[in-house]
Amino acid sequence: MGITLGGLATGLDTNALIAGLRQAESVPLARNQAQQRDLKSARDALSSFLSKLVDIKTKAKDLDTAAEFSAYTITSSDDTSVVASSAGTAAPGSFSVQVNKLAFATRTKSKSVASATNALTQAGTIGITIAGTTTAVAVTSEDSLVAIATKINTSGAKVNASIVNEGSTSRLLISGKDSGVANQVTYAETGTVDLDLDLGANTYQNAQDAEIKIDNQFTVTRPTNKFTDVVQGVTITPKKITGNPPVTEAPVTVTVAADAAAQEKKIRAFVDAYNSAVSGGHLAAGYGSIKAANKYLSGDSAVRTSLDAMAKLVSSKLPGFTGKYDMLASVGVSLTQKGSLGIDSAKLKAALDADPGSVAKVFVGDPDNSVKGAMHLMTEAIDKLATGKEATMNIRIAAFGGNIERLEGQEIVLNRSLDAFEQRLRKKFTDLESSVARINQQGGALSGLANLGFSRR
């Protein structure tokens, strides 16, 4: 920028004049920037609405499998004998459990030795055999009982070795890591190794399978004290023997009941996400007496399309469903007059009590018959609206983005034009100041000559 005289010659406030003229010339720029702000506000509102749609999808996916939808209370009449817990989708009802055997792992002790830390002067191997696989542990004459325990524990064999201090003597105690008859542990000693691990009497606990009897009809065994696949959706953990004649206790009763309150809580998370999206859509595009938050979004087609698609899904009969429970409204989840979802707790509980399996299918569908539930259908609907470049909402947001980029390009051009305009003004005012300054100088010279002439008279 050249030198600005700033009105020294003319007495004009040229900077103020230039600023005023630039301000008058910048009306198109101000209009451009205001439009950008409105468009960015509209785009942000749509992005917020989009995130709410994605949240609906997240909550729907949390309810689209039988295991996720199910909520049960599983109780045992005697937790000291049998503990029962959920292992997936269970059927309401009750059954009795009689515990005949508990599962054990092999436990073997060595002979007593005088010191656990002194060398035993034994050399050879200890063979540890489990399920047909033998692990050989080498023993040297310098090894103490503690050293042998360490070698066993680092051998890779599925056993744990420890030292038992009996006071004046010590023993090696080896326990199998896995219970069950198939995991019985046997030992073989070679060379001069003489710990009596291979002495049958020193295996004071043989590996054993657990055995329970269901409803006094079905006897089942497992290698551990967990029965996860006997009664659907229930894990049975026996704690003590109840059915070992002649001492027999009353069978333990396990009861499975649908937990309507817990299931309603899961459903409410979806309903809350749905209602948040509806509220966001109404605030963005307007609804009834609610005015659109932005003039560019008033009655926005993408928002309306999204809300209409979701409303149709949650209020319609589900394809492929028959019977009493065939849509969300039939289980107590229905649209209100304002377009939000509401839960009729009493209706939901009654449906769960009457037919929990059919209620679950409304949400998760019936995969065996290729029938989709409401949550799966909602996920598909949200994908069309919010996922990928071709999704309804993403196309609309991209359109706003394109208009904003166009205006940003125009803003750059307008700013350059204003800068050029200001430079021309400054040059003109600078030239004016220079001209006035020269005239003032010439006037001063003429005045001096005139005064000189008068003084000669």
DSSP states of 302-319: HHHHHHHHHHHHHHSPPT
- Give the architecture-level CATH label for domain 107-205: Sandwich (2.60)
72 near 256, Cβ under 8 Å? yes
100 with 212: CB under 8 angstroms?
yes
pLDDT, residue 5, reads 46
Which of helix, strand or coil describes residue 188? strand
Distance (Å, whole) CA 332 – CA 351: 8
pLDDT of residue 320: 93
- Axis crossing angle, helix 27-61 with helix 374-386, rounded to the nearest 10: 160
In one letter, which amino acid is 302?
A
What type of residue is 81? S
Give the 3-state DSSP-derived string for 361-374, with helices as H, strands as E and coil as C.
HHHHEEHHHCEECH
Give the whole-angstrom CA distance, residue 82 versus residue 214.
Answer: 12
Beta strands in 64-207 (DSSP E): 72-76, 82-86, 93-101, 107-109, 124-130, 133-139, 159-165, 170-176, 185-189, 203-205
* Residue ranges covered by each domain of the chain: 33-67+260-396, 72-103+209-258, 107-205
Bridge partner residues of 212 (DSSP)? 99, 220
Dihedral (CA of 413, 418, 421, 426) sign: negative
The ranges of the chain with pLDDT < 70 are 1-11, 88, 246-247, 444-457
Residue 140 phi/psi, 5-degree rounding, is -110, 165
User: Is residue 46 within 8 Å of 400, Cβ to Cβ?
Assistant: yes
Residues making up the chain, counted from first to last: 457
Cα separation, 115 vs 215, whole angstroms: 53
